[in-house]
Amino acid sequence: MSALSPFPDSERAPRLVSGLGTVGRFVLVTAMTFLGLLTITFFIGRIVPIDPVVAVVGDRASQEVYDATFRQMGLDKPLITQFALYVRDVLTGNFGMSLSTGRPVVEDLVRFFPATFEMATFGIVIGVVLGVPMGVIAAAKAGSWIDQLIRVLGLLGYAVPAFWMGLVGLAVFYAGLGWVAGPGRLDIFYDGLVPTVTGILTLDALLAGDMQIFLNALSHLILPSSILGFFSLAYIARMTRSFMLDQLDQEFVTTARVKGVSERAVIWKHAFYPIRVQLVTVIGLSYAVLLEGSVMIEIVFSWPGIGNYLTTALLTADMNAVLGATILIGTVFIVINRTSDVLYRILDPRSR
Amino acid sequence: MTEPLLQLRNLRVTFPGPRGPVQVVHGVSFDLGRERLGIVGESGSGKSLTGRSLLRLLKHPAKVETDRLIFDGIDLNALSEKQMRNIRGARISMVMQDPKFSLNPVMTIGTQIAEALRVHENLPRTEVKTRVRAMLDQVRIDDPDRVMKLYPHEVSGGMGQRVMIAMMLIPQPDVLIADEPTSALDVSVQAQVLDLIDTMIVGNGMALILISHDLELVARYCDRVLVMHRGRVVEELEAGQLHAATHPYTKGLLAAVPRMDETRKVLPVMDRDMEYDQ
Ligand SMILES: Nc1ncnc2c1ncn2[C@@H]1O[C@H](COP(=O)(O)OP(=O)(O)OP(=O)(O)O)[C@@H](O)[C@H]1O
Ligand SMILES: [Mg+2]
């Protein structure tokens, strides 16, 4: 019977995909995205340096060294084989050596990324905790002075360059008022006193039970992460405000008022509740941007983070380091993107 | 005659426009007893604004003024926003046009209905649940326990509107405003929903304001009909007396209703820009 079916194959194909189930599809999409990332970095690695061997050995190397490296890099093999080797290297964490630090790139990433992660996480928490309520209030009181104030703050977040804010922040709160510590992650005499577990200094200090170091790390962290927080706050507040204005216009919000629900519950329970879904995406995006490492802030604050590392690598044409950092940042983007996808499904009953 | 349940005098609604304020409701007045009052008129005649003004729902930039808005001896204009919330839902309620938009999409049906009750009465959870179940039963929803757990997108339009009715009637209000409660629904369920509203209103001795652009429908479900045109009430009639309408606009509306026993090629078209005198 089935052989007589007019569309024997086209019927089977979608069933195969849907047969994978939600989890299977999720894994498949994630894997494909990651493969896409590797394809791009692979071609950048092969195309951008006119000669990848020279990028590694330098232009003064002898012909023998050049040839040896050429073969060692597998450049004599077909492109597809090269790509397969590349994927294997990446998956086993082998990004090669960094020319500028002389260490394996993986070790560098493990050392630099937690610094960025710590600052970005603090920053996004500040951005969400302040930005979301600000956006909600601005929308609920659209046109009022508080709305205007929030709009001006938002504009500042767009108009003021990060390095300027970093410098002014240092001048005022560190040099002037002495409220916070200066550049770097820790005062010099505390350096290396707590064992590195996570690489997140505040957390490591807590794990070691050393309050003094914890507070010192915090006092170094607070200014740069507040500045990052301010930038994401500006974006999050603006988006929250526009989502909320949209919701407050909806008929079901009027329904809530008709029922006699208090204005506060109308705003938070009825109008805000549904936009959590959209906010997840906005917050995820801001967090990803912060995790990429704000180069300006990291430079101004001598913060040994991934932005700083990547910039140095670019300036010294340290290709392995550039690609390693790019893959790391790309992976962070994928992880955040996929996580907000999952949260989306959990939070929105319509997408279940 | 005793004091009417609701008295509205000289309602005016104004919006700011690009060339100064634009008045869209020009002095609407009526009394409402425990009866079924219909408001008909074409799109934009100010029916919805009138309905919403009774609940004081219109917000900035709308400017709403009345000479008198008395409900059950309470001067609604004199109430604070907080006091007004005790009227909304509990005493005067409203069913809106399209359940697709008027129900909260991310709250279960049970929670939404329960909220309407909880806002006004402090009841133990089990009792709230019992009342919600009984209410769903009254609006003829089978298997209330299952429906309570559903989200609005999981039910049909007709069922959504019955949920809406249940939600609006659960605190046992005195007045229900139904603003085109069936125009977004499938023709096949329109009569069911209207019959349901009718049964509930009559059964509970409530007052109904039924807003529609369908003169015939309003005549069928109401005792009295107000005809609105361009922000004014141009005629007020007993439902059985439509043929006795004297106002040219009402006559025009009546003439536009097609009949079973007639043959005519072209239905007359209303002249929307025509100015009728009061
Ligand atoms: N927010 C607003 N801003 C400006 N004008 C408005 C606003 N809301 C309503 N109006 C105007 O007020 C008039 C009456 O609106 P209303 O909603 O009461 O009409 P209606 O009789 O309910 O019509 P419909 O049958 O289409 O629902 C319309 O002409 C409309 O243009
Ligand atoms: Mg209307």
Residues B181 and B267 in one domain: yes
User: pLDDT higher for A227 or A193?
Assistant: A227
- Planar angle of CA B256, B260, B266, nearest 5 degrees: 40
Q: pLDDT, tens digit, for every residue of B166-222?
A: 999 999 999 999 999 998 888 888 999 999 999 999 999 999 999 998 888 898 999
Verify that B144 and B166 share a domain, yes or no: yes
* Section A199-221 average pLDDT: 90
Which ligand is in closest contact with the Cα of B63?
Answer: 1
The per-residue pLDDT for B260 is: 63
Cα B121 to chain centroid distance, Å, stands at: 24
Do B155 and B236 fall into the same domain? Answer: no
Q: Is the ipTM of this complex over 0.85?
A: yes
pLDDT in tens, A56-75: 777 777 888 888 888 877 78
Contacts of B249 (CB under 8 A, 6+ apart): B227, B229, B234, B235, B270, B274, B276
**Non-local CB neighbours of A17 within 8 Å, separated by 6+ positions:** A25
| Alpha-carbon gap: B231 to the closest alpha carbon of chain A (Å) | 22
Cβ-defined contact of B89 to A255 (cutoff 8 Å): no
Distance (Å) from the alpha carbon of B172 to chain A's nearest alpha carbon: 11
Q: Domain A114-305 sits in which CATH superfamily? A: MetI-like (1.10.3720.10)
Q: What whole-number distance in Å separates Cα of residue A258 and Cα of residue A275?
A: 21
Identify whether residues B167 and B180 lie together within a single domain: no
A346–chain B nearest CA distance, Å: 11
**Same-domain check for residues B121 and B142:** yes
Residue B159 shares a structural domain with residue B182: no
Residues B199, B121, single domain; the answer is: no
Q: Which residue among B87, B102, B168 places its CB closest to the CB of A251?
A: B102
- The boundaries of the domain holding residue B137 are 99-172
User: Does residue B260 sit in the same domain as residue B196?
Assistant: yes
Mean pLDDT on A145-154: 87
**In this structure, which residue's CA is closest to atom 7 in ligand 1?**
B15
**What is the pLDDT averaged over residues B51-58?**
95
Taking CB atoms and an 8 Å limit, are A256 and B120 in contact across chains?
no
Ligand 2 centroid to Cα of residue A348, in Å, is 30
What is the Å distance from ligand 1's center to B158 Cα? Answer: 25
- At B16, which helix (H) or strand (E)? strand B6-17
Contact B128, B117 (CB under 8 A): yes
B274: pLDDT strictly greater than 80: no
Query: How far apart are the CA of A134 and the centre of ligand 1, in A?
Result: 32
The verdict on B144 and B31 lying in the same domain is no
Instruction: Specify the residue with its C-alpha closest to ligand 1, atom 29.
Output: B44
Same domain, residue pair B121 and B34: no
Q: Where are chain A's structural domains?
A: 114-305
* Beta bridge mates, A48: none
Q: For residue A5, is pLDDT > 50?
A: no
CA nearest to A156, candidates A240, A238, A237, A231: A231
Specify the pTM. 0.83
List the single residue in B with minimal CA-CA distance to A142: B60
Which of A252, A261, A350 has its CB closest to that of B103? A252
Give dist(CA B145, CA B165) in Å, integer: 17
- Ligand 1 atom with least separation from CA of B47: 21
Last residue of a domain, one of B172, B204, B237: B172
| B85 to A262: CB separation less than 8 angstroms, yes or no | yes
Residues B67-116: tens digit of each pLDDT: 999 999 999 999 999 999 999 999 999 999 999 999 999 999 999 999 99
- The residue behind tokens 């509203």 is B197
Q: Are residues B69 and B179 in the same domain?
A: yes
Q: Look at residue A9 in the predicted model and tell me its pLDDT.
A: 41
Expressed in angstroms, the distance from the first to the final Cα of chain B is 26
Nearest CA to ligand 1 atom 24: B43
B142 and B81 share one domain: no
A270 contact residues in B (CB cutoff 8 A): 104, 107
Residues 6+ apart with CB under 8 A from A321: A95, A98, A99, A100, A101, A105, A108, A309, A310, A312, A313
Sheet holding B207-212: strands in order across?
B92-95, B175-179, B207-212, B36-40, B224-229, B232-238
Which of B172, B206, B231 corresponds to the end of one domain? B172
CATH number at residue B29: 3.40.50.300
Q: Which of A251, A262, A273 sits opposite B101 (nearest CB)?
A: A251
